Structure 1
Amino acid sequence: MTKIDIKPIVFEDPSTVKKIINKHQDIYVNDAFERQIKELFFIDNLQFIGQDKTEVCKSPEFNKYRNKKKDDFLYVYYPWNYSLVKCVKEADYFRLKTNRNQDLITAEEQKRLRDYKVAVFGMSVGSNIAFVLTQSGISKNITIADFDELDTTNLNRIWAGVYQVGLNKCVIAARRIYEDNPYAKVSALTKGISSPQLENLLKSKKIDCIVEEIDNMLLKIEIRKLAIKYKTPVLMVTDNGDWAVLHIERYDLGYKKFFEKDVDYWRKRLRQYDPRKDFADIVINQIVGGPDKVDSRMLLSANKVIAKKLVSWPQLGSAALLGGIAVTVAIKRIVRGESRERFIKEYLYPISRLD
């Protein structure tokens, strides 16, 4: 069985560079370090802002700074795309990666966001969420889960390429995260998530927040039962045509319901559960909030799915990206302590009016 690489290889021994280059003649080598040192210099020496960068980089001050930093690098090798990068070490990389967030996110807030551990279950819409979180410098330690493999029909909403068709969605997402941040810590559950697995993760405090984007209704409820037990917030985005619905269930603040219904309701509702018929009904009525809240074209499509005239629910890439943005903003507000509402259902419109 062919080994599937998910993580990059990070090392500092120059002899390893030679071995990799000798083994892979067509390898792409990028010395990002030289540019990164220049960026760091201006961050650490604000008095040079606005001056000609070429001239500043000839100055004694810059040469002194570069000499001081000359050994502060590591090599990062991405075996899945044969790329080798000379890169600053983790602390400096984090500073570079998040510098342009300031002060929309302060340095102190950024550290708290980095240390906040998010789990994202379901790598269709969830892959967009996981990547926007990573891009924002949130959740260095991130858990992602999906048993499914990429199909061409997924490419309308998942950041992937046709060359990755057949690859596990978790692997694709993990690689993308590591390409954005080689120092990330991704726990990729390529067989999906189960109740016992989740309980172990929650019990060992490896998760601070759950983003749930799976299609299995029974597992959705089990996840929320465990979230109540371990006082863990759950966020979920449901796309609805060009827009989406965001659910925030603050089980960390004592919320006890699932989609605004109590446990007894769901016990009865799921007693004779038919995924093809009942899932659509639950999404339309409980999750979105009734047919009047559902995009008319989405409603038509849902009826076609039930009648077996359409293979599956439609999902747009624009709505998936909107979900990634909404969840990222919501998690920032939770970590900052700006939001204390125990339950939020938010209807997300990318454009309120288009004349």
Structure 2
Amino acid sequence: MILQDNEELDFNYQALIIPADAQGAQREALGRLLEDETIEKIDQLDIQVSELIKIEHPARKFDEEELLDKMEAFFNEHPRDKYGNWVYFHWRRQLIRILAKEDFVNLRTSRNRYKIKDEEQQRLYTKKIGVIGLSVGQSVALSLAMERSFGELRIADFDTLELSNMNRIRTGLYSLGMKKVWVVAREIAEIDPFLKVTIYDEGITEGNIKDFFERDGGIDLLVEECDSLPIKIKSRLMAKSMGIPVVMDTSDRGMMDIERFDIESERPIFHGYLEKFGDEKELLDILADNYREMLLAILHFEQLSERLKYSMSEIGKTITTWPQLASSVIMGGAMGAHYARMILLGQDVPSNRFYVDLDAIN
């Protein structure tokens, strides 16, 4: 983020963006960073400008001399020492030179066209997405960030990264013991430091659920990927009351779950799989006595893969929790991001639960 007056930066997960033409305190801070020999400096601005020129002239094939002339003209108009931004990633001890924001965004999304139209891309920048749970949720969040499909992303998870998580969460050993929200927020900042990410590092609680859903006009879509059954139920009841669509993936048999509470205000949560337990507003009151039965009903036990069914019988015996594989989680993340984008753009996505089961495809 670009630091403004009286604004604090959370160095746990936010990168510091300093304009190359900064003045005053920002200029002094940039000078100190540039002089610090312990910080790696990466200045590939010329390559970025070269690519920017090419996308702005798609019908032309520049030879080397022509491209150099165009770059010289660019820097005559935008003096190199005053153009663009320096981005400091303190957790990497790296200071990286990038384009000015408008040029950066234009170039970074240039390969989205016309899979995402320009007017659709701009519309996505007005949207706020909430993600609860950062296993599959990490893959959804990173896919959304790479496509630049939001204006703000709110991510919630109370947990820290453990070694066993790394069979499905894409990060390095340097992240062990770190809060999962920091891991994801840092990765997004490394992709695009201009993206707004808001973290809830206690997960979703009674104290913050209202803020998560309602702050600054509220979220436009919820991606629910947490392991907590009470939070699954509570977050859906909140989403339903506010008319917010919900997307979920279970990373088994490619199951994708979509609930369009934005267009079906009376739709039962979880497609009605919990209706046999009574009024949905009272589900949390009876959850303790019906936990396993409710969980199996939500998962639609009969539709689970045989290996996951067996795995669930081994929980507490030979394994501590149900397994998830990177291949399934990454695929689920991609599908979640895909349908989130379609919903936010007003495309035809009905409430549904369906399977993209790779094992069943011959």
Partner deviation per Cα, 1:1-58 (whole Å, 9 max, x = no partner): xx862101111235433312444x232211132211111111222342x333x22223
Equivalent residue for 1:125? 136
Q: Give me the whole-angstrom Cα distance separating, in 2, the residues matched to 1:81 and 1:321.
A: 25
Residue 180 in structure 1 maps to residue 185 in structure 2: no
Equivalent residues of 1:115, 1:138 under 8 A apart: no
Stretch moving more, 28-37 or 153-162: 28-37
- Any idea what SS the aligned residue of 1:142 has? strand
The Cα shift of 1:271 comes to 4.3
The Cα shift of 1:268 comes to 6.3
The Cα shift of 1:125 comes to 1.3
Equivalent residue for 1:253? 263
Residue 346 in structure 1 maps to residue 346 in structure 2: no
Equivalent residues of 2:125, 2:151 under 8 A apart: yes
Q: Give me the whole-angstrom Cα distance separating, in 2, the residues matched to 1:352 and 1:94.
A: 40
- Any idea what SS the aligned residue of 1:84 has? strand
- Relative to structure 1, the CA distance from residue 352 to residue 57 in structure 2 (aligned partners, 3 Å threshold; closer, same or farther) is farther
Taking only aligned residues, the RMSD between alpha carbons, in angstroms, comes to: 2.2
The Cα shift of 1:267 comes to 5.6
The Cα shift of 1:207 comes to 1.1
The Cα shift of 1:201 comes to 3.8
Equivalent residue for 2:337? 328
Equivalent residue for 1:56? 66
The Cα shift of 1:196 comes to 4.5
- Any idea what SS the aligned residue of 2:287 has? coil
Partner deviation per Cα, 1:111-153 (whole Å, 9 max, x = no partner): 1122211110111111111001100111131100111000000
Q: Give me the whole-angstrom Cα distance separating, in 2, the residues matched to 1:153 and 1:227.
A: 31
Q: Give me the whole-angstrom Cα distance separating, in 2, the residues matched to 1:328 and 1:162.
A: 26
Q: Give me the whole-angstrom Cα distance separating, in 1, the residues matched to 2:320 and 2:160.
A: 17
Query: Identity percentage over the alignment?
Result: 26
- Relative to structure 1, the CA distance from residue 213 to residue 82 in structure 2 (aligned partners, 3 Å threshold; closer, same or farther) is same
Stretch moving more, 31-40 or 183-192: 31-40
Partner deviation per Cα, 1:49-81 (whole Å, 9 max, x = no partner): x333x222233x442233223343011000000
Given the two structures, how large is their TM-score scaled by the length of structure 2?
Answer: 0.87
Unaligned runs of 5+ in 1: none
- Any idea what SS the aligned residue of 2:88 has? strand
Residue 142 in structure 1 maps to residue 156 in structure 2: no
Partner deviation per Cα, 1:202-257 (whole Å, 9 max, x = no partner): 333241111011111111111111111211111111111xx321111111112431
Residue 312 in structure 1 maps to residue 286 in structure 2: no
Q: Give me the whole-angstrom Cα distance separating, in 1, the residues matched to 2:127 and 2:360.
A: 32
Q: Give me the whole-angstrom Cα distance separating, in 2, the residues matched to 1:15 and 1:86.
A: 17
- Any idea what SS the aligned residue of 2:339 has? helix
Count of residues in Structure 1 that have an aligned counterpart in Structure 2: 340
